[in-house]
A and B are shown apart, each in its own frame.
Chain A
Amino acid sequence: DAGVIQSPRHEVTEMGQEVTLRCKPISGHDYLFWYRQTMMRGLELLIYFNNNVPIDDSGMPEDRFSAKMPNASFSTLKIQPSEPRDSAVYFCASSLGDRIYNEQFFGPGTRLTVL
């Protein structure tokens, strides 16, 4: 299995531009999570999906952030417009099953820099 795939691995953009991060979960997994990692705030859960449906988006910082999961094998996290404080590493993770003890498998992350 290829694991969770994220693209791009690095993104540098200018303030005000739209940024789209992509994630392909492990085939067959029915939960997908988006996290953000910064020095100041650590690892934060932004949103998670079950069977392509958003379940909890309480971690999404503001309306500039949106996430979609059009099908079981693809999800996007969009920031529009981007701001320098959005600079962070964004991780996608997936898991199988509805039990908390099911392991979340993390992708390698996308390092976003907003100038």
Chain B
Amino acid sequence: DAKTTQPPSMDCAEGRAANLPCNHSTISGNEYVYWYRQIHSQGPQYIIHGLKNNETNEMASLIITEDRKSSTLILPHATLRDTAVYYCIVRADYNFNKFYFGSGTKLNVKP
């Protein structure tokens, strides 16, 4: 599975949009992009995933570039409870068991 690169930390003001980037330049055509987050030592929580098209759900939006080499997770109105480590993972559709977590981005939402 392709590797991902994320900034180690980011700050965001409460109420503003948080845009978390992820680089996955070696992604192949059958690999999906997944985002998870971990709030202070709780179990990681699934946020969203996508293949080619942009995706939106009640938690976030996922923007994938046309060449699929990078993506951005958008939390439209960040709250203090969104402070967490956010993990970007790529996984081939046939490797359904293999989720490998990197070091993620620590998002600090500030009042």
A, B assembled together: no
